[in-house]
């Protein structure tokens, strides 16, 4: 059984590598060419602050529904 475990680990790395380079890398290239950004990075010199206000929550309701 140790041989099977080693072969399984090798197969896992090969399959994950193929999946990464065949699926995720072209997808990222397409998004980059389209100009899509996941995070709005960059400094805004005119901004006074980057703080975003969150709406107030009822503590009793948030204690009842934790998740």
- Res. 37 pLDDT band, cuts 50 70 90: confident
Give the tokens for residue 30. 């397409």
Which pLDDT does position 59 carry in this prediction? Answer: 81
- Res. 34 pLDDT band, cuts 50 70 90: very high
Task: Please say if the pLDDT value at position 8 is more than 80.
Answer: yes
Q: Which residues contact 50 (CB under 8 A, 6 or more apart)?
A: 44
Q: What is the pTM of this model?
A: 0.47
Rounded distance between C-alpha atoms, residue 45 and residue 52, angstroms: 17
* Backbone φ, ψ for residue 47 (5° rounding): -75, 135
Domain ranges of the chain: 1-33
Which pLDDT does position 43 carry in this prediction? Answer: 83
* Backbone φ, ψ for residue 55 (5° rounding): -70, 145
Rounded distance between C-alpha atoms, residue 49 and residue 3, angstroms: 59
């Amino acid at each position: 059984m140790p041989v099977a475990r080693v072969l399984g680990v090798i197969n896992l790395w090969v399959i994950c590598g193929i999946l990464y380079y065949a699926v995720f890398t072209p997808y990222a290239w397409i998004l980059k060419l389209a100009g899509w950004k996941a995070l709005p990075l960059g400094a805004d010199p005119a901004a006074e602050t980057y703080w975003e206000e969150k709406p107030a929550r009822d503590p009793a309701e948030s204690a009842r529904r934790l998740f």
